[in-house]
Structure 1
């Protein structure tokens, strides 16, 4: 009896469903119509094969043929350069700066102030078996998200999309984090009509469909999560 492992798919994304960094790459791949096999990776278990693919021990990891790519920002910029249509970066230095600034805002400031405090405490502590949620962190995240939603509203009052008048990777970065929080009903969509309208617009894109189909064991989807009309 053969013990050979099946060959890995030519194109694959090693991800975790409620990783906002994985979701950002999934949105980018889907928008550019690049098909990949999704392989769920429990990255905190630090499987040796996984570590060989990315010594940093983080998701996502994108495999395209013989090429293995890590780090969500680097992956998205690679995809933008290798597959420029449809464009997800502006064609001016000023526009690209604003997109990169906002990606950093969500992947750093928002992630540490909100995502880790809410998704991290409510979901990942249980999934990883690291104990019960820290109520102080949850309260901190619940306060911080109000500030971030208000900041998004401020941007969207004068722009069609977060970084300007065209949809960009900045919108995918923000939507990736907010969709994780929406999965656990931690976004007050009534706080800002303009932010709610922005999310409804991006949520209704075909690229978003696989995110709306996600199921995390032990955490059933809230009823509104996959509803395009909330």
Structure 2
């Protein structure tokens, strides 16, 4: 049985789950409190990060490497376009959300509001929260500009870039940190991707001590 070692509010775990779900690849989910540095988990990934995927007799880490492996071994339905230019744009946006968005927004909001309590590292830093609340407006505006020109973030077909973005936003939406009324085009995009079967298990996630926002699992939000 394929196994994904993950944490529910890890956007990188969610990105891999979305790719697996879209490809209809069944996996057993094992929740991993990776910050506790369990020796068994460190043997699976010495970097001490989730996700880690056990599949095809391999133990794989790093969400980008895992998603690319899934795409290469299970090419249908495609999450990367055929052309080099189009693939470059998808990978650029995956990097944008995995790096820039995550550092400027997710770590400042979900990181402060949720992870500090879970990991026992103290109370939220209000300076970080304010910075994240400001930064997310810039990112939402940028996404809306892309979606004004394209059906999906990287082009006219849904790709891995959409899953990278949705993985980050879904973590923030859990704590109601996304203003979906800021851009109708962005809300429509999220409603489309949120309605996909691959999203179902993510919408069922619950983190002890934190109730999801009332609209979190609502497809008609």
TM bin (shorter chain): over 0.9
Which residue pairs with 2:194 in the alignment?
203
Aligned equivalents of 1:23 and 1:119: distance in 2? 14
1:97 aligned onto 2:88:
yes
* Residues 46-195 of structure 1 aligned to structure 2 (within 5 Å): 46-195=37-186
Which residue pairs with 1:16 in the alignment?
7
Aligned equivalents of 1:222 and 1:24: distance in 2? 20
Aligned equivalents of 2:163 and 2:212: distance in 1? 21
TM-score normalised to structure 1 length: 0.96
Aligned equivalents of 1:215 and 1:94: distance in 2? 39
Aligned equivalents of 2:57 and 2:113: distance in 1? 37
Which residue pairs with 1:6 in the alignment?
none
Q: CA deviation at 1:66?
A: 1.9
Aligned equivalents of 1:149 and 1:215: distance in 2? 25
Aligned equivalents of 2:208 and 2:125: distance in 1? 21
- The range that moved more, 62-71 or 176-185, is 62-71
Aligned equivalents of 1:86 and 1:69: distance in 2? 21
Q: CA deviation at 1:165?
A: 0.2
Which residue pairs with 2:31 in the alignment?
40
- Give aligned pairs, total: 221
Give the 4+ runs in structure 1 shifted more than 2 A: none
Aligned equivalents of 2:75 and 2:213: distance in 1? 35
Q: CA deviation at 1:65?
A: 4.0
Aligned equivalents of 2:105 and 2:24: distance in 1? 30
Q: CA deviation at 1:229?
A: 0.6
Q: Any gaps of 5 or more consecutive residues in structure 1?
A: 1-9
Aligned equivalents of 2:188 and 2:2: distance in 1? 34
**What is the DSSP-based 3-state SS (H/G/I as helix, E as strand, rest coil) of the residue aligned with 2:149?**
coil
Aligned equivalents of 1:37 and 1:65: distance in 2? 14
1:225 aligned onto 2:216:
yes
Rg: which structure is higher?
Answer: 1
Q: Any gaps of 5 or more consecutive residues in structure 2?
A: none
Aligned equivalents of 2:2 and 2:189: distance in 1? 31
